Structures are given as C-alpha cells and as structure tokens.
Chains A and B, each alone.
Chain A
Amino acid sequence: SAVISQKPSRDICQRGTSLTIQCQVDSQVTMMFWYRQQPGQSLTLIATANQGSEATYESGFVIDKFPISRPNLTFSTLTVSNMSPEDSSIYLCSARQGAYTGELFFGEGSRLTVL
C-alpha cells in the first residue's frame, strides 16, 4: 500500500497568483497522477507526472498553466499558475505502484479557493 500526503490541504488565493501543491508518497511508486475535482463533479485527470521528464497532459490542460515536477519516485508538485476563480477546485494527487494494474491510491486533496 501507499500513503499519500498533500500540502496544503486548503488555501485561499488571490486572482493572478500561483500556488504549488506538494505530494509525498511514503513508498516508491511507478505512476503518479494529478486530478481535479470541482464541487459535486467527478474527477478529471490533469496529467501523468513522469519521473525525470516532462509530464503528460490531458486535453484541455497545458504546462504553462499547470507545471508539474516529479524529481523522484516518491514526490511530485503541481503548480496552479495565474489563478482565476475558475481554478477553484480540489486537486488530488494519486499514485500506483504498478505500471499497468493495481490499486490507485489518493491523497486527501488540496482545496483551493480563488478570490
């Protein structure tokens, strides 16, 4: 199993600023992903965080807006840049030990409110 810790758990931000969310896994994992969940909605995959290389972004998400780092097998960051109220959401980090199958573990999420 894997335990995922995210920081911050919540924050209130001003329009135009940027915020970096940190994700720490207590064991080495093959795959790490970042999701966004708006209130009452399902989870939307933002990107796959690749260790030592650029993240793989889903349609509708770009690196300039959501830069992602993954320096090793246990840590990743997601930055939400130049925030607007539309970015208010819960951002979730997830990880899987296997490349193809296995349980996808989730952090508790980071709730961002942009004023």
Chain B
Amino acid sequence: LAKTTQPISMDSYEGQEVNITCSHNNIATNDYITWYQQFPSQGPRFIIQGYKTKVTNEVASLFIPADRKSSTLSLPRVSLSDTAVYYCLVGDSLTSGTYKYIFGTGTRLKVLA
C-alpha cells in the first residue's frame, strides 16, 4: 500500500517561493505522483502530475529525484490566495488492475501578508 508523508503545516510570506516535500518510499515503478490543492468547503483541485525528473505548468513545478522516493512541489511567488491544504498522492493498485488514490494528511500552507 503506497503511503505518503508530508509536513503537517507551513507558513510563508507573499512573494516567496514555497517548496513542499512529500516522501513516498513504497512507490511502484509505474506510479505517477500527483498533487492537489484544497480550499475550505471545496473539493480538491488538481495542480500537477509527474513521473520523473521535472514537470512544470502555469501554476507549479514538480521535482522528482531519480529514486522517486520523494517529490517536491514548488509554488513560485505565493499570494494570500494560495493559502490551502496541499496533498501529495500516489496510485494504489486495485485487484482489477486499475488505480485508486489514497490521500495522506496533507500540508496546510498559510501565506502571510
């Protein structure tokens, strides 16, 4: 059963770069790593997904080392509106051969003015 470990909370100031690292020691060779963002009273929202090395989109970057036992979500120049809970997910295979996603505790990011 793949599991993830993240810091419980982080504080940052507006305009700073925030890096959140997730450990996933038991990741399978064909698992993707996915990050989600959740605001209060809303469902989680997809941020970024990657398999290895580096992935970048318009809102974040994801760094994955060669051993894939961890990954780091990087948020450039955060603003107050980035205050949310961030979840790192890896797939978990079902007996049917498909995948489900188990959520870890998440990291509660608070951006300060």
Contact = CB atoms under 8 A, between A and B. Distances in A.
Does A associate with B in a complex?
A: yes
Chain B, interface SS category: loop
A101 B32 contact: yes
Interface residues of A, number: 25
A56 B96 contact: yes
B101 A42 contact: no
A56 B94 contact: yes
A100 B98 contact: yes
A106 B45 contact: yes
Nearest to A31: B98
Most buried by B among A35, A42, A99, A102: A42
29 contacts: A4-B43, A31-B99, A33-B100, A33-B101, A42-B87, A42-B103, A42-B105, A44-B103, A45-B101, A45-B103, A48-B94, A48-B100, A50-B96, A56-B95, A94-B43, A100-B99, A101-B91, A102-B49, A103-B34, A103-B49, A104-B36, A104-B46, A104-B101, A106-B43, A106-B45, A107-B43, A108-B41, A109-B41, A109-B42
A100 B34 CA distance: 12
Interface string B56-99: 00000000000000000000000000000001010100111111
Nearest to B95: A56
B42 to A, nearest CB: 6
Given A45-B103, A100-B98, A109-B42, 12 more contacts: A4-B43, A33-B100, A42-B103, A42-B106, A44-B103, A45-B100, A45-B101, A50-B96, A102-B49, A104-B34, A104-B44, A104-B89
Contact of B44 (A31, A43, A101): A43
